[in-house]
Structure formats: structure tokens, C-alpha cells
Structure 1
Amino acid sequence: MGFFEHDDTPNNRPMRSMMIRRRLAPGAVALVLAATLAACGDSDSSSDTTSASSPTTAAQTQTETTAASNGVADKSADEVLAASLAAAKSASAMHVAGESDGTTIDLSLVKGEGASGSIAQGTNRFELLTVGDEIYLRGSDEFYRSLGGEAVVRLLAGKWLKVSAGDRQFGSFAAFTDMDKLLTEALRPEGTIEKGEVETVDGTEVVPLTNGREGTLYVAATGDPFPVKITPGGARRGEIVFDGWNEPVELTAPTDAIDIEELSRAAG
């Protein structure tokens, strides 16, 4: 899949594919969740906001206005896409956020280490944290209620759940929060892509790459050719924004998480 291509396989229904794996005493559940790239973003974008809203001097404005082209405007569509993927994968960290088909995702990822953020569909929301080989989830009351009713809400409200990234039923989450894998999936469109003329998106000069009705990827035309934004094609709404390149992200595992496997064994 790529850009905003719609894929309704089990690995692409983040909220709709929630199910109960096994009931535990007293009514607790082990979760089976499948994740997709619906959007990506920095769970803490304060540095970006501050930068954008801070007063700028005339010299700074002139520098931004006359920023040198990185050359992608002169490349073919496939070459622009390859350059953008290479630049993104060379970064140490990134932030990806946005909304698609009612699902909102906000994630900060560190290459080779993990990710932190949240996924939501209406009031059905959960925080997602991966640190090394461990995955942690903390859901809203509605999230836990959808898994097992009020008993589960009473047992798990406000608590982190811990699962292994090696668990076959949670493997999709491990891939979803893997920076390299996420970028490969996001920037791998199906079919032919066409390059448009340089334009400005959110204050950044970009080269648009359009994949038919599936959507458009905007690649920075100055500085590093990082992906800037993806917008859907056709009647679909939403957008995915990429930023926070190489900015520090703190990943700290919660010390009081409930281990789903231990809970399952105790229920026996």
C-alpha cells in the first residue's frame, strides 16, 4: 500500500479490527489490535509550533525565501520518490500525524528504538508506546468498554497494558511503530506516479507526486527532500503530515504496566 491507498485487510482496520483474544478473570481481556498507516505525527509538536509562530527577522525571512533548491524539481517522478524515501530513512527520528476515514494517528518514532503516540476513532482512543521489543497500550474508557464492557473499564481504566512485540497477534503493532517499515509502506504507491510543478504547502516549497485517485505525496523541494504531506484522492478526506525530522523523542517504558501474558496465565 502507499500514499492514501485504501486497504481493508485485517492489518488496515485499526479500530474496526479490535477483538477479544481470550476472556480472563474477572472479565479482563487480552487485546488483539491491527494497525495501519492512517496518519503519523509528533505527539509533542511544540518545537515546530514555536518555530512557526516565532517572530522572524528580515534576514531570516530572506534566507527562507531564497532557500536553495535541492534539485528534486528537475528529477523524474520515480527519482523524486526514491530521493524522498532515502532522506526519510536517513533521519534518526520523525513525527507523523493526521486523519483518514475518521481515524486519527499521532506518532513520534525513533529509528531502531520504538515509538510513542496515540490512535483514535471518535472517543475510542488508545495511547501506543513501543520500547525495544515491548509494546504498551493504554486505552480510554470507551476503548476498554468496547473490549469487554464495564468490568474491563473498572479493571483497566487508566492502566498500561504490556505485550511482547514477538506475539503473532501483536506483530502488526511492532511493524507499525518501526520507522523504516512505516516509511517503506507509506512511500510505496501502487501504480504510476506523476510529478507536478513546484508549489508551496504549509510554507514549504514542494514537488507533488500524484498516484492517480489514491492521493498525492508532497516532497520538500529545498533542504533535505523529506516527505512533507500526503493528501487523499477521490472523495476521501484527511491528510498525513510528516515533520519532526531528527528531533529528540523520549521513550520511557511504564513501570506499572499490566502484563497481558501474566494475566492470561493467572486466569489459567
Structure 2
Amino acid sequence: MRPTRPVPTALAAGAALVFAFASLTACSGGAAENPEAVSRTGPGAPGGTAPAPGSIIDGTKGAVPDTRPPGALSGRELADRAVQLMAATSYKLTGSSGAGADAVTLTIEVSKQRDAVQTVAGVEVKQELIRVGGVVYTNVESVIGATPGAQIPASLRGMYLKADGQQLDPKLVDPFAGTFAGAVDVAKGAETQVDGKNVWPLTVKSADGSTTTMFVMASGDPFPIRMTVAGGAPLDLKVSDFGADVRVVAPPADRVLDQAALQQRLAGA
């Protein structure tokens, strides 16, 4: 049996970058109280309120909302506005990277409550992440498959590893906000067009040397509609379906393992 191929670095980083939108309102009542809840819905469901007006990027909170048009905002201000908008709505994200046997696709759906489901799939790789109420479930195949030469016991196929999001590296749980918080520079480029829409490009250079470009709407609310992540195989991400009804379901309890249980099963395989 061929081992599962690990998710390419650029795609994994980009996936984590966008998956982080799901945790932006955790401190404002957006996260569910019951980690084992089996579903959430998007528009109209309780919770998922937007953060207080002010800067998410630098952690401050202003008293008066900034209502200036996107063209009048600096790069940091525009990125901050985009983060606030995304933190208050549901959406879908799709992307792809690589070619041939290395080609992979990415799909992420995020509910208004910041629950989310992410799938990365390719010829020899499949990673599924489910975030419900701050708890993250990862399919065991992708966890074991990240180790070269690993063999996955039949009893572990279809199982999920459970982790408390609070115990994970903050940049893995919330790397989007972390990217801007640790940004060396957020540069706003000249207005251009993407997918037939007028947008402002925002190029974020982080202290770790990575570069992310986000394209936000030039008129009305500056929702981001596309992102590109540099480093390794280029990753192009499209954001759509704002406000759509999103249902996120946690894995059945009998398909969930914690780290200790996973190690025991591997030892007895």
C-alpha cells in the first residue's frame, strides 16, 4: 500500500490561512458552547456577531466605526475592514495548486458561527479538517500519512483525531489574523480588476518572509474575493457564497479518537 502523500506546504499554509477566518469571532460569542454539536447553520443563527469596530490587526478597539470608502483607506485599514466583514458572515473558498500527480484542490466552507469544514484532495492525498465549537477534527489518514513510509491500519481508516483548538499553535488555528498582526508591511496597490470586478490588491509581507496578496472589492463593502499565497507551489484561492447557509457536522462519536487512543491503536496494530 502506498503511503498517503503529505499536503504540499504552500497549500497547507494557504488552507490554514483561510481556515482561520472561522475563529475570528471566538472572543465575541461566535463559537458554539457545545463542542460536540452536530450542526450549525449560517445566516440567521445565534452568535457569529462581528467584532467591535476598530483594528483587528493591531488588537485595538475604536469607539467609532470607520465608514470611509475603500479608496480612502490605507493598506492596513483596508485589510482590517476586510477581516471584520469576513468575521461576521459565512462563505465558501476554493483553490488549487500544482499539476499532474501533484495537483491538489482545496474547498473550505465556513458558517456564521465560525464552524468550518476543509477538504484538500489530490491523487495521493486527502486531508479533512472539521472545526465545530473550537474543537478541530482531522482525518487520521492525513495525520499518519504525513510520516514517510507509514502504513495505515484498516481499523483507523475513516477515523478522526480530536484536538482542542486552544492547545494548537495559534498561527495554525488563526493564521489569517496572525499574518496581519505580525505583518512587516501591508501595501495597497493600484485599483485593478479580478474576475471582472474592480478590486484593491493588498500585499502582506510577514516577519517570517512569507507574502500573501488579498484582493478586496473596490466599491461597497471591501469583501476579499481572491487571495494568492507565495512560497513553494503557488496557491490561488477564490472566496464566494457570502452569507450562504452553511451546515457543519462533527464526526460521529464512535469515529473520534484523542491522541492517546490513536497511539494505543497504532501500538496494537
Deviation of 1:92 (Å)? 2.9
Structure 2: runs of 5+ lacking an equivalent: 1-5, 20-67
Report which of the two structures shows the higher radius of gyration computed on alpha carbons.
Answer: 1
Q: Which amino acid aligns with 2:211?
A: E
Match of 2:130 in 1: 129
Residue 251 of structure 1: SS of its match in structure 2? coil
Give, as a single letter, the amino acid of the residue that structure 2 aligns with 1:163. Answer: K
Gaps of 5+ in 1: 1-13, 18-34, 42-69
Q: Which residue of 2 aligns with 1:155?
A: 155
Which deviations, in whole Å up to 9, do the C-alpha atoms of 1:82-101 show, x marking residues without a partner?
22222222x23232332467
Percent identical pairs in the alignment equals 23
- The alpha-carbon distance between structure 1 residues 96 and 16, as it changes in their structure 2 partners (threshold 3 A), is closer
Partner of 1:201: 194
1:71 counterpart letter in structure 2? P
The residue type equivalent to 2:119 in the other structure is: S
- TM-score, normalised by the number of residues in structure 2: 0.58
Q: Does 1:36 align with 2:13?
A: yes
Q: Which residue in the other structure is 2:79 paired with? A: 81
Quote the offset at 1:16 in angstroms.
Answer: 7.2
- Partner deviation per Cα, 1:166-204 (whole Å, 9 max, x = no partner): 684xx24x8746xxx354135457323332222210122
Distance 2:78 2:163 in 1: 37
The two structures, once aligned, show a CA RMSD in angstroms of 3.8
Please state whether the residue corresponding to 2:78 is helix, strand or coil: helix
Whole-angstrom distance in 2 between the partners of 1:138 and 1:208? 35
TM-score normalized with structure 1 length:
0.58
AA aligned to 1:36 is: A
Deviation at 1:152, TM superposition (A): 2.2
Does the 8 Å CA contact 1:106/1:119 hold for their aligned counterparts? Answer: yes
> Following TM superposition, by how much is the alpha carbon of 1:128 offset from its aligned partner in structure 2, in angstroms?
1.4
Q: Which amino acid aligns with 1:198?
A: E
Cα distance in structure 2, aligned partners of 1:233 and 1:138: 27
| CA separation of 1:232 and 1:133: change in aligned 2, threshold 3 A | closer
Question: Do the aligned partners of 1:40 and 1:105 also contact (CA within 8 Å) in 2?
Answer: no
